[in-house]
Amino acid sequence: MLIGLAIRDVVLIEALDLAIGPGLTALTGETGAGKSIILDALGLATGARADAGLVRIGAQQASATAIFSPPADHAVWALLDEKGLSYERDEDLVLRRQLSADGRSRAFVNDQATGVAALKELGALLLEVHGQHETVGLLDPRTHRTLLDAFGGVSTAGVSASWSAWRAARERAAALRQQAATAAAEIEELTLRLGELDRLDPREGEETALAEERALLGAAEKALADVDAARDALGGEGTAQRLSQAFRALERARERAVQAGAAADGPAVQRLAAAAGAVDRALSEAREAEAAIDHAAAAFDLDPKRLEEAEERLFALRAMARKLGTSVDALPAARADFAARLHAAETSDEALRAAEAAERDVRGAYLAAAADLTAERRAAGDRLAQAVEGELAPLKLDKARFRAAVEPLGEDRAGPSGMDRVAFEICTNPGAPFGPLEAIASGGELARFALALKAALAGRTPGAQPLMIFDEVDQGVGGAVADAVGLRLRRLAGEAQVLVVTHSPQVAARAHAHWRITKSGDDARLRTAVETLAPAAREEEIARMLAGAEITDAARAAARALIGA
């Protein structure tokens, strides 16, 4: 909802701040008073094209600020995210535009500088303009399918699911066709590479093991020499023999001491026993040391050809890794990948036939669902045409006809919302061909057609409704037709905010709020002012619209009757 409009130095307005409420607001005043300036200023703030002529004579620049209060679920917030503009959903949205006397302009959103294009996109979500010379928003053909679906309660969920399935099947079949096209060459290459890897038979962790073995084998000869030196230093078999002889000699000495009468637990015998025990332990340790040296030597007792074999294996693995542009550790995985790709290539024809069959099935399901959707839309279009034509007669457009043309498109235009082009079309005279509204309607008919369509769609359109502006929708009509216009505007204002520029007292009388636009001053200094009318002043303004220059008591009574109707 638009809650405020601040205008500075726009045409005849020097400074004006307007507070705008919900419902229907009527803008009235004498011809030339400047009612269109209010709309021009609002257009300036929401990204409409502007030229230096909008800048008040004598001023350096003009500015217009529109303050909106969109609901939390309004689409405008997502657009702000897309544009990278900061905001708070519980705060107002402020759009501002400055236009200098040389024609240059600057745009701001919540005081953040942005482009005029961004301002225009935001404005398109926040308001619609329907006038004698243009209708913006509602009659954009790109919105017609969504509006028709909302009016008819048409769901596209089933078609969307079928579309997703068809698209996935198409992509899989296309990928398999691409594989099949290169399968022959790929099979030859994969077979060659897989044969090489099968013959090589790389194993996980083999490079590390071979490198360690190669290093060990390279050091084996010198290591064996060192082991032999250790054996020689230990004394070989002579050491054990000498220790064994020493042990036996000590045992004999102990026995002779005992035979000579020495006490078995005496100091001499005990020392001989201790010496024999020490020699015995040394003999045991010497034998263990000799065995350990022999065991260590056995570790280096390798086949001399093994070093050559290990080196050849390691070099072969590394050469294959370089050839495939990978590491030795990744060769087993590469082998498995080649095997899987070869199997896929060899069975690609079978997989392709299955994928194409699946694609045909889901395509058929999509086309059937899209055809059902087309039928639903045509039925909804018939109901919408009936509803719109029911609104046309009271608006003095009884000879006009409306239709929602639903044209099925080719498969190349298929999508998650079906295959239909929807366009709202009219003919204004019996026997004339149907065509786009903006190409056939003229003058006030354009805005009245928009009003009829809006009235028919009331309560059926999704999401938050934008501010609707009707500029002289009552042009060229009066009496009952003007009253019908007023009634429909009032009805629309029940679900959306509506501004109407009008010369019709019947329309003005239906408004919830009433602004009178006046112009004052002389030719050298003209000024436009806006007055929010209280009930008594409003009655007087409607009486003026009824009577003209001289307001009579009868006109005032008629004004009261219109307001109370």
Among residues of the chain, what percentage have pLDDT more than 90? Answer: 33
Instruction: Compute the distance between CA of residue 225 and CA of residue 210 in angstroms, rounded to an integer.
Output: 24
List own/partner pairs for 379-387 with CB under 8 A and 24 or more apart. Answer: 379/152, 380/148, 380/149, 380/151, 380/152, 380/153, 380/154, 380/404, 381/148, 381/152, 381/405, 381/406, 381/422, 383/151, 383/152, 384/148, 384/151, 384/152, 384/456, 384/457, 387/151, 387/456
Query: How does the average pLDDT of the chain come out, rounded?
Result: 85
- Three-state SS for 400? coil
pLDDT of amino acid 296: 72
User: Mind listing the pLDDT tens digit for each residue in 286-299?
Assistant: 778 877 877 776 76
pLDDT of res. 9: 92
Q: Nearest 5°: phi and psi at 12?
A: -100, 0
- pLDDT score of 215 more than 90: no
pTM for the model: 0.64
DSSP string, 240-278: HHHHHHHHHHHHHHHHHHHHTT--TTSHHHHHHHHHHHH
Categorize the per-residue pLDDT at 105 as very low, low, confident or very high, splitting at 50, 70 and 90. very high
Distance, in Å, from the CA atom of 69 to the CA atom of 233, rounded to the nearest integer, reads: 101
The residues near 272 (Cβ < 8 Å, ≥ 6 apart) are 250, 253, 254, 257
Contact 385, 402 (CB under 8 A): yes
**Residue 503 backbone dihedrals phi, psi, to 5 degrees:** -110, 5
* Average pLDDT of span 95-110: 93
The H or E element spanning position 404 is strand 401-408
**pLDDT score, position 303:** 64
pLDDT at res. 363:
94
Dist. CA 449–CA 442, nearest whole Å: 10
Instruction: Name the DSSP class of 415.
Output: B
Which tokens sit at 218? 């390279």
Percent of the chain with pLDDT over 70: 90
pLDDT at res. 382: 95
- Render pLDDT for 422-444 as a digit per residue (tens, 0 to 9): 999 988 888 888 888 767 666 56
pLDDT recorded at residue 207: 85
Gap between the Cα atoms of 485 and 392, Å rounded: 10
- pLDDT on residue 430: 82
pLDDT value, residue 435? 86
More confident residue, 158 or 131: 158
Report pLDDT digits (tens) over 304-347. Answer: 677 778 888 889 888 988 988 989 898 999 889 888 888 877 77
pLDDT band at 524 (very low <50, low <70, confident <90, very high): low
Question: Does 213 score more than 80 pLDDT?
Answer: no
Inter-CA distances, 174 with 71, 104, 164, 344, Å: 45, 52, 15, 15
> What's the pLDDT at 209?
84
Identify the residue with better confidence: 350 or 126: 126
pLDDT attached to residue 237: 59
Q: 456-487 pLDDT, tens per residue?
A: 887 776 655 678 888 877 777 778 888 998 99
- The residue among 441, 478, 474, 465 whose CA lies nearest residue 134 is 441
Give the residue-averaged pLDDT of 145-163: 92
> Residue 10 has what pLDDT?
92
H or E stretch covering 109 = strand 105-109
Q: What is the pLDDT of residues 21-40, one digit of tens each?
A: 999 999 998 877 778 888 88
pLDDT in tens, 361-418: 999 999 999 999 999 999 999 999 999 999 888 888 888 899 999 999 988 899 999 9
Higher local confidence (pLDDT), 450 or 505: 505
The pLDDT of residue 62: 94
